[in-house]
């Protein structure tokens, strides 16, 4: 657990100091529960966790230290922890089991980092059973119909004999 990031990751973030897993937005979006006039909302600083992003870039590392970034859905769990769901046999899971140190960063659906976001060092843990189900439920609550459609697609694949792998959760805990 006390290991530092692989040399390739340190080189990729050289000169940039990772910040806490909080992003700050200068303007509040229009929100039905915020009844203040737009002038009052303008300039308000609101802390927003990386778990509130639609996609994050989860960078895992191979045994020899090469970074492998992947865009994933993310949901906030208790405290500062984040949850990601994936297949048990995915390469992400294999790499995390070998090297639990990861980087997370706000991104678009293709994994391109968002402007102004910085990578955050974290530790990932693969969870199954009740803990994995808790992560799946958090993702389902956040993504709603999109998550349901992904489940329908898995059932269709099962009908034609191409059943996908069992899913598991990944719990990500930012360092520091």
Ordered per-residue pLDDT tens for the chain, 176 residues: 445 555 555 555 555 444 433 333 333 333 333 343 444 433 332 234 788 899 999 999 999 999 999 999 999 998 889 999 998 889 999 999 999 999 999 999 999 999 999 999 999 999 999 999 999 999 999 988 887 777 776 777 667 766 666 889 999 999 87
Instruction: Give the helix, strand, coil percentages of the chain, each rounded to 5.
Output: 30, 30, 40
Instruction: Give the global pTM.
Output: 0.68
| E runs forming strands in the chain | 22-25, 46-49, 55-61, 67-73, 75-76, 82-87, 101-107, 120-127, 167-174
Domains and CATH numbers, the chain: 7-174 (2.30.110.10)
């Amino acid at each position: 657990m006390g290991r530092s990031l692989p040399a390739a990751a340190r080189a990729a973030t050289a000169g940039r100091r990772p910040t806490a897993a909080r992003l700050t937005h200068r303007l509040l979006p229009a929100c039905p529960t915020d009844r203040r006039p737009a002038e009052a909302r303008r300039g308000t600083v609101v802390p927003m966790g990386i778990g509130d992003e639609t996609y994050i870039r989860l960078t895992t590392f191979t045994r020899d230290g090469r970074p492998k970034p992947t865009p994933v859905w993310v949901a906030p769990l208790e405290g500062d922890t984040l949850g990601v769901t994936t297949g048990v046999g995915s390469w992400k899971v294999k790499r995390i089991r070998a090297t639990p140190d990861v980087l997370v960063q706000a991104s678009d659906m293709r994994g391109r980092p968002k402007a102004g976001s910085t990578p955050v060092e974290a530790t990932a843990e693969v969870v199954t059973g009740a803990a994995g189900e808790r992560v799946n439920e958090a993702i389902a609550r956040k993504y709603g119909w999109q998550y349901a459609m992904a489940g329908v697609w898995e059932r269709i694949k099962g009908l034609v004999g191409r059943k996908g792998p069992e899913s598991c959760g990944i719990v990500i805990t930012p360092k520091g």
